[in-house]
Structure 1
Amino acid sequence: MKQRAPLTLAAVTAALAAVTGLAFLTAPAATPAGGAGRADAARRPVERSVLVCPEPSSSDIAETTYTSLTPGKGGGAGTARLATREGKAVLEPREPGKPVSATASGAEAPGLTGAAEGALAPGWTAQQTTKVAVGHTRGLLGLSCTVPGTDFWFPGVSTAKGRQDYIHLTNPDDTVAEVDIKLYGPDGLVKDKPGAVAAVFRVDARSTAKVSLSTLFPDSRLTDVTAHVTTGSGRVGASAQAAEDGVGTDWLPASAGPADTLVLPGIPADATSVRLVAFAPGEDDADLTVRLSGPGGRLTPAGKERLHVKAGMTAGLDLGDVTRGEAGSLLLAPADPGKAVPVVAALRVVRGTAPKQELGFVPASAPVGERATVADNRADDKATALTLTASGADATVRVTASAGTEGGQPAVQEITVKAGTTRAVVPAPAPSGGKGPYALTIETLSGGPVHAARTLTLPHDGIPMFTVQAFTDDRSTVSVPRAVEDPSILLR
């Protein structure tokens, strides 16, 4: 009997952590006596945010740019700092609305951990972008630094010949974290020998561990795999890094948590190969409809309109050049609305043709929500493209391009997206006269929900090197119950 992946208590804990953004608040002042009986909640800015960035690359010729921003216009005191394990500061933003950046070269660029407090905490975002010009790991790797947690899903990793995939684990805390990694393939839980159903790793305080999936289970060579990363104690930031011989390399961020309806935003218009990988972690099989949201609405890929995912197993579907010249987003939904089964999913995307190919990933992501930011964008011609998908009603968003790290003036644009469509903005809004990397912030003004992604393209030697990062709600505020003074408690 195959072993399945249940929706664990750790998953519930992670979901609660996501709601609070792993940020902290002090209690609000007590409500005056005249307000007694009010138990409604208020939204308050978070007062502390934590981020971790994994080690960027093992290549000696890697060039990495770190960029950080807290959106907003300032006001109030605050601090923010991303630093190495030894405590050396790499990025220290000084005020909201102004991005900062730093660069690092070679394989010695470290993983980073950091925290923002006060006025710099709400929506604090950091990004690392790495370019490797040549070699079997050549390509453009982009990753939004992650909020530490306890439960992560990575559909789309692989142990196939020619793939070198790693899970990076970064522990930001002063205590040891114990981490379990399980792999699920087309036949369920991957086991190289009886009883070997998970690998347990110890990640020391304020350090990073790098786990090779091909050596974790060396006798299992599988194209489509889902990795499930959970912690038995502590918390970590987790990201997957994939390299494919002759194709390219990129980061694979964790998928949005298991849900019966998913949006995978930001498939480039010129994608030459798109492969969907999905996993059903519960006890029931999932039957999914597969739709492409494009400029004209929702389309069904010919002959690829359904995907059956067996419980506890990973399934793949080759979609080919599904976008056919127009940027889009993939929509997954239950084939039978009366039988909704949660899944996780991601896309492996290739641009170009051999030998001038490049690899990227598009995981399922949460909506923009009130506000979301991607920190590293470039103002070069068509280097930065924005994809917006209205998966529900018509929507209007405000897009703010910050000043560049070396100057310029912010730019603001309102964009409307019709229900069921995807709108590509190429080039994306950019600061006036800006130099250096800049940040894009999206706010939902009406309608939606809106899913969004940014594609950064930095061609090299005829290779369309690219990376895609999704915008997800920055959780800059949390709900805090209103306090009510009740002197009678002293008599109870």
Structure 2
Amino acid sequence: MRLIVENRFALFGLVALALLALFGVAFAIQPINARIGASAPDTLRPDLAARVCPAPHEASDDAESAVAAFAPRVSRDDEGELRAVPLAEVDGDPGAQTLGEELTEPGRVWRTDVSDATRPTSLRAEGSLASGLDAAQTTVSDDGITEVRCAAPSIGTWFALPGAEDPDDVELEALTAHLANPEDFRATVSVDIYTMEGPSYSPDSRGIHLDPGESTELDVTELIQNTGALGVHVRTSTGRVAASLLAEHSSGHSDWVPPTRAPDDVQVVPGVPGGEGTRRLFVAAPGDEPVRALVRVVTERADADDATEAEPLALNVPPAASAWLSLEGALAEAPGTVVVEADAPVVAGVSVETVDDGKVVETAYTAAVDPLSGPLDTTAVIPDMPEGVDVELVLGALEEDAQVVATPIAADGSMGDAVRAEVAAGTTHVFGTDTEGWGAPSGADPRDGYAVRLELLEDSGPVYAARVLRSGDAVSVLPVTPAPVRVLLPEVRDSMTGIVP
């Protein structure tokens, strides 16, 4: 052995032999990889999924909150399980408090009341109920409507929204990050905030430890003073967390801020509702260089003549900071889709304020999302259409015409009449229950609510979607994200990463 160590030629021979053995193993298992689909791009149907809905915000004593979930049926043989428990409960423990009834069949709406919940709701789905799953929590009260998509645990989540210094004195009074760890291992999370002046943080927003089943609420109000725009990044250094963000305003109303897409050069924000009130775009640039963004608004008019739409609006964002832009002039009270094209990665979101006699009565938010597009992201799910509110689907198409079919589905799985929406390229189309003749399936109990499945037709161009709820002056927006039944697997072929960790 000593002779081998001291002889460099012997060591070289041993290394060469080891490499030959390694590549021999790779060559030997190549047919196996081909059989399991790892040697070429392939798809997989997920069979495990987790979602977390934050504890409902106590808007008023009459508030009613419900969590709804839906996974589409693909074949008659589909089966699985969806189960919900308060987050601190141990999932799978016979003694755990199950919320609502367990669901074992896709194609049905799962719904349970969480008005009295004081902890986040943890949903776990297995089998066919994990593919194409979406879940949301809706709260309806005399004070307004709030809703939040139940978040999947992630290593990073972004938000874009106004800060505490509003030019119209509609101040953000409190901002709270709801963080939950539904996993079986510990998570360490930090919250980065990008103001108009640059990064803002404190020791309390760094290195937050969450044990399995643990959740916390982090008040970051002190970090957002004296700024009109924010970018918020919730990230983990170990584990994954489900993050939600609650904004409370000095006027008394509050709403959940939807997460936005990760930084990218192009962001598209759907679902800006029409009507009076302010409409503001917020853009944050996490990089170390200043960013110039061009902003255009796509409305119901395909060929606009005004200069605002002919020439994009320009927005300059300082490095590692945020900025905002007023959209009222470009929208002219029409519903719209906002397109942001920047020379470096940014995140984007839009705030919506409704007014009555000149007074702000409600605030809502929408954010950038991926479009429904082929070949895999052709399906989306809106899990809860609550009773007693007006519903609009706001659909935006950019470069190509788009065709979408909306199918209402009752709690028992029965389907209503499917309705087709045509969206011309370069326009935004409002698809409302009061104008298009669609709604809950006939015979369904309206108290159970219903879900809507959106399907992109073959040969259709991409479409960006959001659901808008209205009740009097109250408004809420839920950006719609694709809920694919199958996901793409990466290609692994002729690579050492196939056998070396």
Matches within 5 A, 1:451-466: 451-459=464-472, 464-466=473-475
SS of equivalent to 2:456: strand
Matches within 5 A, 1:28-67: 39-59=39-59, 61=61, 62-67=63-68
TM-superposed deviation, 1:326:
2.5
Aligned counterpart for 1:449 among listed residues 459, 462, 467: 462
In the alignment, is residue 153 of structure 1 matched against residue 151 of structure 2?
no
- Tell me which residue corresponds to 1:331: 339
Q: Are 1:68 and 1:93, in contact at CA under 8 Å, matched by a contact in 2?
A: no
- Tell me which residue corresponds to 2:315: 307
Aligned counterpart for 1:278 among listed residues 272, 277, 283: 283
Q: Are 2:196 and 2:228, in contact at CA under 8 Å, matched by a contact in 1?
A: no
Cα gap change, 1:174 to 1:417, in 2 (>3 Å): same
- Tell me which residue corresponds to 1:402: 409
Q: Are 1:80 and 1:115, in contact at CA under 8 Å, matched by a contact in 2?
A: yes
SS of equivalent to 2:227: coil
TM-superposed deviation, 1:162:
4.7
In the alignment, is residue 103 of structure 1 matched against residue 113 of structure 2?
yes
Q: Which amino acid aligns with 1:81?
A: R
Cα gap change, 1:333 to 1:197, in 2 (>3 Å): farther
SS of equivalent to 1:120: helix
- In 2: Cα distance, 1:188 partner to 1:455 partner: 33
TM-superposed deviation, 1:432:
2.7
Aligned counterpart for 2:385 among listed residues 350, 374, 377: 377
Matches within 5 A, 1:257-276: 257-276=262-281
- In 2: Cα distance, 1:331 partner to 1:481 partner: 29
- In 2: Cα distance, 1:170 partner to 1:94 partner: 26
Cα gap change, 1:341 to 1:48, in 2 (>3 Å): same
Matches within 5 A, 1:191-270: 198-215=205-222, 217=223, 220-246=225-251, 248-270=253-275
Cα gap change, 1:198 to 1:32, in 2 (>3 Å): closer
- In 1: Cα distance, 2:491 partner to 2:184 partner: 33
- Tell me which residue corresponds to 1:83: 85
- In 1: Cα distance, 2:248 partner to 2:312 partner: 27
Cα gap change, 1:301 to 1:201, in 2 (>3 Å): farther
- In 2: Cα distance, 1:275 partner to 1:214 partner: 20
TM-superposed deviation, 1:341:
1.2
Q: Which amino acid aligns with 1:347?
A: V
Which digits, 9 at most, give the CA deviation of each residue in 1:122-156, with x for residues without a partner? Answer: 111111001343xxxx4311111111101111111
- In 1: Cα distance, 2:449 partner to 2:238 partner: 37
- In 2: Cα distance, 1:112 partner to 1:448 partner: 36
Q: Which runs of 5+ in 1 are unaligned?
A: 1-29, 335-339, 485-492
- Tell me which residue corresponds to 1:476: 485
Q: Are 1:271 and 1:323, in contact at CA under 8 Å, matched by a contact in 2?
A: no
Cα gap change, 1:33 to 1:226, in 2 (>3 Å): closer
Farther-moved stretch of structure 1 (303-312 vs 258-267) = 303-312
- Tell me which residue corresponds to 2:417: 411
TM-superposed deviation, 1:284:
2.8
Q: Are 2:172 and 2:247, in contact at CA under 8 Å, matched by a contact in 1?
A: no
Cα gap change, 1:475 to 1:148, in 2 (>3 Å): farther
Cα gap change, 1:78 to 1:277, in 2 (>3 Å): same
Q: Which amino acid aligns with 1:421?
A: T
- Tell me which residue corresponds to 1:343: 346
- In 1: Cα distance, 2:331 partner to 2:98 partner: 42
Aligned counterpart for 1:366 among listed residues 370, 376, 383: 370
Q: Which amino acid aligns with 2:348?
A: A
Cα gap change, 1:304 to 1:244, in 2 (>3 Å): farther
TM-superposed deviation, 1:409:
3.6
TM-superposed deviation, 1:483:
11
Kindly tell me the number of residue pairs found equivalent between the two proteins.
435
Q: Are 2:109 and 2:413, in contact at CA under 8 Å, matched by a contact in 1?
A: no
Cα gap change, 1:352 to 1:407, in 2 (>3 Å): farther
- Tell me which residue corresponds to 1:12: none
SS of equivalent to 2:332: coil
Q: Which amino acid aligns with 1:352?
A: V
Q: Which amino acid aligns with 1:80?
A: L
- In 2: Cα distance, 1:185 partner to 1:38 partner: 44
- In 2: Cα distance, 1:50 partner to 1:37 partner: 26
Which digits, 9 at most, give the CA deviation of each residue in 1:349-374, with x for residues without a partner? Answer: 11123546100001111112321111
Which digits, 9 at most, give the CA deviation of each residue in 1:50-75, with x for residues without a partner? Answer: 11111111446232011111112553
- Tell me which residue corresponds to 1:425: 431
Cα gap change, 1:227 to 1:37, in 2 (>3 Å): closer
Farther-moved stretch of structure 1 (142-151 vs 40-49) = 40-49
- Tell me which residue corresponds to 1:14: none
Which digits, 9 at most, give the CA deviation of each residue in 1:281-301, with x for residues without a partner? Answer: 123322222211111137664
TM-superposed deviation, 1:481:
7.2
SS of equivalent to 2:254: strand
- In 1: Cα distance, 2:397 partner to 2:423 partner: 6
Q: Which amino acid aligns with 2:49?
A: S
Q: Are 1:168 and 1:208, in contact at CA under 8 Å, matched by a contact in 2?
A: yes
- In 2: Cα distance, 1:117 partner to 1:282 partner: 39
Cα gap change, 1:371 to 1:269, in 2 (>3 Å): same
Farther-moved stretch of structure 1 (50-59 vs 156-165) = 156-165
TM-superposed deviation, 1:304:
7.8
Which digits, 9 at most, give the CA deviation of each residue in 1:250-302, with x for residues without a partner? Answer: 11121111111111100111141111110111233222222111111376648
Which digits, 9 at most, give the CA deviation of each residue in 1:435-488, with x for residues without a partner? Answer: 2311122122233221100001233xxxx222111111113312347999xxxx
- In 2: Cα distance, 1:421 partner to 1:153 partner: 27
In the alignment, is residue 143 of structure 1 matched against residue 152 of structure 2?
no
Matches within 5 A, 1:313-324: 313-320=321-328, 322-324=330-332
Q: Which amino acid aligns with 1:49?
A: A
Q: Are 2:409 and 2:441, in contact at CA under 8 Å, matched by a contact in 1?
A: no
Taking every aligned residue pair, what percent have the same amino acid on both sides?
Answer: 26
